[in-house]
Amino acid sequence: MAFGNAGSGIPFPGARGAPFRFSMAAASGLLLVLALPKPDLHYLGWVAPAPLLIALTASESRRSAAAAGYVAGVGFFGGSCYWIVSTMTVYGGLSLPLAVGVFGLFVVVFAGHTALFAFWMRAHVERFGIRGVLLAAPTWVAVELLQSHLIFGGFPWMLAGYALAPFGGLLQVVAWTGVYGLSFILVGVGSLFAFGVAARDMRALALAGAVILLAFALPTPAEETPSDPFRVRLVQTRIDIEQSWAADDRVRLMDALEALTVEADPGLDLVVWPETPAPLRLDAGSFFEPRARAIARRLDSHFLFGYIDSIGDRPSNSAGVVSPTGLQVARYDKIHLVPFGEYVPLRSILFFAESMVRNVGDFAPGVEHTVSRVGGRGLAATICYEDVFPGLIRRFTGRGAEVIVNITNDGWFGETSAPYQHLRMSRVRAAENRRYIVRAANTGVSAIIDPYGNIVARTEIGERRVLDGVAGYRGDLSVYVRYGDVFAWLAALASVVLTVLPRAGARMGRRTVSSGP
C-alpha cells in the first residue's frame, strides 16, 4: 500500500519554529513516561512517538531535529528514572544537590540516544520525503540496541515496547522477537499516526487504528495448570536498609524470619528468600549458615537465597541453594553488576562523588551462566536487575533452565515507580523465554509469573509475608531463545541500508552521467 505524496516539502510551513518542535518533542517524552508503570496509562503509548515524528518533519535541519529529539529524551529518561535521585540520597549517601547533579549527568548522556534517533530520522525524511517517517520503527529499534549494549554494559531499562505488555495477546510476539518486537510495533503505529497527520492520509490513520483494535481483540493465553508443577514459597523479608546487625538485633530478625518461613508447611518443593541488604554468608561459623540448613531440613524443601560469597579476594553477590538434607548443592555468582551500586566505573574520575563511592561495594562479577539441578530439574537463579537484560536471561534458558528464579532487593527504590517497572520487565522475560519466573523481592513486588507473562500471584510493596503458589517446569525453547535478537538486528540493518543505499545510488548515477559516451 502506497501512502500519500513522497515530496520532501515541510507539511507544516507555519510551524518551523523551535517552540513548536520542542513542545511536540516534550509531549512525546511525557506520553511515553505516562504509558509506563506507574501511572501505567499504557494506551497512551500508541500515540507517544507521533508528536516527535511530526516535529522532525517540521525541522529545518538534522541538527534542529536532533535538538528536538534531545528534548524528548530528557523528558523520557528524566520522567521514567526520577527514582535514581532518592536512591542516591537515601542509600548512596549523597547530598540532594549532588544527587540531582549526578542524575542530571545520567539524563544528559542517555537522552543522546533519542537525539541520535531524531537525527537519523530527519535524514530519512530528507531522502524519502514525508514517507521517511514510516522508517521510524526499525530506526528506533536500532537505537534501542545501542542503548542496551553501550555505556557501562548497557541500560535497557523501560524500553518503549514495555508500554504494550498489558496487551496480553500482543505480548506473545516477544517469544519470536524479544521486547524489541513490541517497540517496533509501538513506534510503527506512532509513525502511521504521524504520517497520516503530516500527509493528511486517512489510510495511514485507519491502518494505525486497525492495529490498535487488533491488540485489544487478541486473546491472552494463560497456563492455568502447569503440566509439570511444583509448590513454591516466596518469603518477602522486608529487611530495612538501615537494619542493625548487632548480635541481639540480628538474632531477633533471624528468629522472626525463620518463624515466618516455616509456618504452616503445605508440602513445599522450593522456598526462596530474596536478595537483601544483609551480611548473610555461608561460611562455617557465620550466624546465617546453621539457620539456612535448618530451614531446608525443617521444610524438607530446597531453599534458595541471596548471600555474600567471594571470588578471589573480592566479595561476590551470590545465590545459593541448600537441599532438604541441609547441604549446599548450587551457587550462582551475579554476572551483570549494577554500576554505581555494586561497583563504581571510572572511580578515579568520580572524585566529586566520594561519599557514594564509599557506600558502594566493590563486587567481583561472576562469569558462568549457572543452571543448577534442583530436584533433577534445571533452575536458573538471577539476581536483581539482571532480568532487565533479555540476552542474559535467554542464555540461561538455552543452557537448560526449566524455571527462572529472580531474587531482588527493590527496597532501594522505596515506593517509587521503579519496583513496578522492574515487575513489568520480569513479565516480558517470562513471555520471551516461555518460562515461569518466580520472583522474590525484599520489600515487593514478589510474584509468580506464568510463561505467557501473566501474574499468577503477587505481593504488595512494604509487606513482610510469605506467598505460596504453584509454578511449573518447561523444556521447550522459543524462537527468541534459539536465535536471540535476530529480529532487532535485521530491523537495525534495514534502517542502516536505507540510509546508505540512496546515497550510493545517487553517486553511481552521477558517475554514469559524467562518464557518458
Which residue numbers are catalytic? 275, 334, 384
Instruction: Tell me which DSSP letter residue 444 carries.
Output: S
Q: Are 429 and 392 in contact (CB under 8 A)?
A: no
Instruction: Report how far residue 330's alpha carbon sits from residue 334's, in angstroms, rounded to the nearest whole number.
Output: 13
Instruction: Report how far residue 123's alpha carbon sits from residue 182's, in angstroms, rounded to the nearest whole number.
Output: 24
Instruction: Report how far residue 272's alpha carbon sits from residue 446's, in angstroms, rounded to the nearest whole number.
Output: 10
The residues facing 314 across adjacent strands are 311
Q: Are 222 and 446 in contact (CB under 8 A)?
A: no
Cα-based angle 74, 78, 82 (whole degrees, multiple of 5): 175
- Lay out the sheet containing 403-408: strands in order across: 372-374, 377-383, 403-408, 437-441, 447-449, 455-458
Neighbours of 513 (CB within 10 A): 8
Instruction: Report how far residue 393's alpha carbon sits from residue 472's, in angstroms, rounded to the nearest whole number.
Output: 17
Cα-based angle 424, 428, 338 (whole degrees, multiple of 5): 65
**Three cell numbers, residue 62:** 538534522
Instruction: Report how far residue 261's alpha carbon sits from residue 252's, in angstroms, rounded to the nearest whole number.
Output: 14
The CA-based dihedral angle spanning residues 96, 100, 106, 110, taken in that order and rounded to the nearest 10 degrees: 140
Give the chain's length. Answer: 517
Q: Are 295 and 303 in contact (CB under 8 A)?
A: yes
Q: Is 455 exposed, middle or buried (0-12, 13-18, 19+ CB in 10 A)?
A: middle
Q: Are 407 and 440 in contact (CB under 8 A)?
A: yes
